[in-house]
Structure 1
Amino acid sequence: MNYTLNQLEIFLRVAENESVTKAAEILNLTQPAVSIQLKNFQAQFDIPLTEISGRKIYITDFGKEIANAAANILNQVHAINYKTAAFKNQLTGRLKISVVSTGIYVMPYFLNDFLKLHPHVELILDVTNKRTVIENLKQNEVDFSLVSILPQHMEVEKMDLLLNKLYLVNGQSIENSSNITADELFENLTLLLREEGSGTRQVMEEYIFRNQINFSKKLQLTSNEAVKQAIVAGIGSSILPLIGLKNELLNNDLQIIPVKNLPIKTMWSLIWLKNKKHSPVAMAYLRFLEQHKENIIKERFGWYSNY
């Protein structure tokens, strides 16, 4: 056996996600690089670690045992690194944050300077839909979650970071839209919705119900990027968070359509379980945000206030 720590890490991420593509995204590697290392790792065992059926990868029972062993080994390696850095009086440890998909346009800007100040902090950032984010928090698998809608029936504490504004977006302007009732406007649009469990979809559906809006046709897509590209292609329109539209608005690929009772306003909030005992890294991050979040908003989101 002559496998490397890098191969253990790659196999563990593939096993956790049952996807080479997802593992590549998490590890910031290309898909071919992950596939090659996975093949080299597998070659060192006489028993299969994975099985392929169609385009889906499955982890065998033996593979699951190896994945558990890999997790234990990597945890010990991390512990050695943390202890070494701690001996040098440096902040060390993992910071685990789950983020709803649109939050990827927000969270990195509130992390960048903190990570530069503390280079030995390891960030684990999971970007997924609202349902999974809340489940991660409920199971105490993360330090913090970033959401735009606070979870119901959960006791959490929060720190508000940034106002979230959602507008009706189309590929081109609609003549006299501000003089048309919302019901008349939506009746002539194909509405693009996110998947069930998405916070953006929840906000959109609440707006439609609250304003008693009828619409003739809807399509469902599974990411904000997919929705944006569909709008650019002329397939339909949607209500989307402004935070993810900067480049498309600057390039005139998308247009904000004035409509009564829009924008919808919520708040991007960092939340955590009430009475949670934070790690030293998590505590340090909260202190950092308290001191610097206003400057971050001013420096990074100045364009945002113009809408």
Structure 2
Amino acid sequence: MNYTLHQLQVFVKVAELKSVTKASEALHLSQPAVSIQLKNLQDQFEIPLIEVIGRQIHITEFGHEIVESSKKILKEVNDINYKTLAFKGQLVGQLKISVVSTGKYVMPYFLNEFVNEHPGIELNMDVTNKLKVVKSLEDNAVDFALVSTLPSHIDVKSEPLMPNTLLWVANQDYDFQYKNNLNALKKVPLIFREYGSATRHAMETYMKSYDFPVGKRLELTSNEAVKQAVIAGLGVSLMPIIGLKNALLNNIVKVVPSKKCPITTEWNLIWLKSKKLSPVAQAYLDFIKKEKHDIIDNKFNWYEDYISSL
């Protein structure tokens, strides 16, 4: 047997994602490179590891056994690397963060310097909708979560990061001419985020407050998809401006003034109140408390300037 750690890593990722294409993207490899590694690993076993039925990859019973063994081997190797770095006095371990989808425009800027300062840290950041973010926190599967609305059914501690401002936006073809376009907004197609999104909740709360009629609506599952639909002229949406920098500054979309807008909430880094933070997690929290204002000043100056100009 001459299988390599790289072959085991590739096989585990293919098994997790059930796709060579997705595995290649996750590992930053070409599809042919992933296929070659799979073949080289399979050639060392007489029993099939995977079966391809139609276009779907299925892991065989024997393959599942190899996956579990591979995970143990890879974990031991990682542990050796961590121990080596720790022996040299470096901060080592995993930092797990779950981020609501719009938070992908925020969180990387609050991670970059910390991760670069500590090469022994393995970052795992999952970007998903609010329901899944809160569930991962509730299950103690992550150290921190980034949300704009604090969950009410679990006890958490929080560290405020920066404002989250939402505005009605449309493409340049829509003709909104007034300082308050509430009545006009009630007549146009509206674009929503999916159920469970904090942005959708804010939009529905606003509509309920001002008796919006049930009219044409489109539902999409990401902030980026909503933005592209707005740009294409499919409708109007209430969106966090943090993800609209280029579209706003280049006049690709425009703000629609309306009653009691903008709506401002706050991005919060939260963690379970009962959780004992790991050394890595505690170090990151200390970093955030110390550096967050400088990060905002250096990375989000356009954001503050744009809000103040409204």
Q: How big is the shift at 1:177?
A: 4.4
Identity %: 55
Distance 1:167 1:115, change over 3 A: same
Residues matched between the structures, number: 306
Q: Deviations over 1:13-53 (max 9, x none)?
A: 33334344544444344555445544544444444444445
Name the CA distance, whole Å, in 2 between partners of 1:220 and 1:36: 40
State whether residues 189 and 236 of structure 2, in contact with CA within 8 Å, keep that contact through their aligned partners in structure 1: yes
Distance 1:247 1:188, change over 3 A: same
Name the CA distance, whole Å, in 2 between partners of 1:209 and 1:31: 48
Distance 1:129 1:39, change over 3 A: farther
Q: How big is the shift at 1:198?
A: 1.9
Q: Does 1:146 align with 2:146?
A: yes
TM-score by length of 1: 0.91
State whether residues 24 and 34 of structure 1, in contact with CA within 8 Å, keep that contact through their aligned partners in structure 2: yes
Q: Over alpha carbons, which structure has the higher Rg?
A: 2
Q: How big is the shift at 1:186?
A: 2.6
Q: Which secondary structure state, in structure 2, belongs to the residue aligned with residue 201 of structure 1?
A: helix
Name the CA distance, whole Å, in 2 between partners of 1:260 and 1:51: 58
Q: How big is the shift at 1:271?
A: 0.7
State whether residues 176 and 256 of structure 2, in contact with CA within 8 Å, keep that contact through their aligned partners in structure 1: no
State whether residues 173 and 256 of structure 1, in contact with CA within 8 Å, keep that contact through their aligned partners in structure 2: no
Q: Which secondary structure state, in structure 1, belongs to the residue aligned with residue 260 of structure 2?
A: coil
State whether residues 177 and 259 of structure 1, in contact with CA within 8 Å, keep that contact through their aligned partners in structure 2: no
Distance 1:211 1:15, change over 3 A: farther
Name the CA distance, whole Å, in 1 between partners of 2:290 and 2:157: 18
- Comparing 156-165 with 23-32, greater Cα deviation is found at 23-32
Partner of 2:236: 237
Q: Which secondary structure state, in structure 1, belongs to the residue aligned with residue 96 of structure 2?
A: strand
Name the CA distance, whole Å, in 2 between partners of 1:289 and 1:146: 13
Name the CA distance, whole Å, in 2 between partners of 1:26 and 1:156: 31
For structure 1, list consecutive stretches of 5 or more residues without a partner in the other structure. none
Q: How big is the shift at 1:178?
A: 3.2
Structure 1 letter corresponding to 2:85 = A
Q: How big is the shift at 1:156?
A: 0.7
Q: Deviations over 1:221-257 (max 9, x none)?
A: 1211111111111222211111111111122221111
- Comparing 188-197 with 74-83, greater Cα deviation is found at 188-197
- After superposition, where does 1:62-81 map in structure 2 within 5 Å? 62-81=62-81
For structure 2, list consecutive stretches of 5 or more residues without a partner in the other structure. none
Distance 1:223 1:266, change over 3 A: same
Name the CA distance, whole Å, in 1 between partners of 2:151 and 2:93: 27
- Aligned-residue Cα RMSD (Å) equals 2.2
Q: How big is the shift at 1:106?
A: 0.5
Q: Which secondary structure state, in structure 1, belongs to the residue aligned with residue 111 of structure 2?
A: helix
Q: Which secondary structure state, in structure 2, belongs to the residue aligned with residue 203 of structure 1?
A: helix
Partner of 2:302: 303
Q: Does 1:11 align with 2:31?
A: no
Structure 1 letter corresponding to 2:64 = K
Q: How big is the shift at 1:94?
A: 0.8
Q: Deviations over 1:284-304 (max 9, x none)?
A: 111111110110011111111
Q: Does 1:259 align with 2:253?
A: no
Q: Which secondary structure state, in structure 1, belongs to the residue aligned with residue 292 of structure 2?
A: helix
- After superposition, where does 1:129-140 map in structure 2 within 5 Å? 129-140=129-140
Q: Deviations over 1:183-241 (max 9, x none)?
A: x2233322111222222222212221222212420111121111111111122221111
Distance 1:227 1:46, change over 3 A: farther
